[in-house]
């Protein structure tokens, strides 16, 4: 559900808890007002592990409500906001400009997607990400695969 569309908010206002539980993915890119935050809380009450695509500003408004299985993130991902999320299986980072060492603390991470990755800014991936099974790189700035670290899988 794209929450940048006004009809999405209309649907949420009228949805039953059962319908809210059926949501699988939220796209939240705009800052939320107080009423929208309250509506998001209603979703989180019944569906705290749905996938989320968001930016840093909006994530700060909703991170305490959800433990997503899928997180698509644009902006500076603060380590403290992600480490309490034990459910993340898929993480998509767009153009990260921060160290990625914290990835070793995401115990259930199975798929890592990094768009426009430059290891000169972020450093290499930490060695031995225990659950990692897939790495997808989109438009990376790497000359060889050494920046991927030594992964068991």
Is 122 strand, coil or helix?
helix
Q: Give the pLDDT of residue 117.
A: 96
Q: Does residue 141 have a pLDDT over 80?
A: yes
Q: What rounded mean pLDDT belongs to the chain?
A: 92
Is 37 strand, coil or helix?
helix
Q: Does residue 78 have a pLDDT over 80?
A: no
SS3 content of the chain, % helix, strand, coil (to 5): 35, 20, 45
Q: Is the pTM of this model over 0.75?
A: yes
Residue-wise pLDDT for 88-127, tens only, equals: 999 999 999 889 998 988 889 999 999 999 999 999 999 9
Percent of all residues in the chain with a pLDDT value above 90, rounded to a whole number:
71
| Cα distance between residue 44 and residue 148, in whole Å | 34
Q: Give the pLDDT of residue 81.
A: 72
Q: What is the mean pLDDT of residues 126-147?
A: 93
Q: Give the pLDDT of residue 143.
A: 85
Q: Does residue 83 have a pLDDT over 90?
A: no
Bridge partners of residue 52, in order along the sequence: 26, 71
Q: Does residue 72 have a pLDDT over 90?
A: yes
How many CB atoms are located within 10 Å of the residue 139 CB?
A: 10
Measured CA to CA in angstroms, residue 139 lies from 50, 86, 91, 115, 142 at distances of 27, 28, 17, 6, 9
| Cα distance between residue 40 and residue 42, in whole Å | 5
């Amino acid at each position: 559900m794209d929450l940048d569309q006004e009809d999405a908010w209309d649907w949420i206002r009228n949805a039953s808890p059962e319908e809210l539980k059926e949501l699988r993915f939220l796209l939240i890119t705009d800052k939320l007002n107080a009423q929208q935050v309250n509506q998001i809380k209603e979703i989180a009450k019944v569906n705290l592990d749905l996938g989320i695509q968001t930016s840093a500003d909006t994530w700060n408004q909703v991170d305490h409500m959800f433990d997503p299985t899928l997180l698509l993130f644009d902006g500076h991902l603060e380590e403290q906001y992600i480490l309490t999320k034990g459910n993340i299986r898929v993480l998509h980072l767009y153009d990260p400009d921060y160290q990625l060492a914290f990835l070793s603390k995401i115990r259930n991470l199975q798929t890592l997607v990094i768009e426009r990755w430059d290891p000169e800014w972020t450093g290499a991936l930490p060695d031995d990400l225990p659950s990692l099974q897939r790495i997808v790189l989109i438009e990376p700035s790497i000359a060889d695969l050494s920046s991927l670290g030594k992964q068991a899988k």
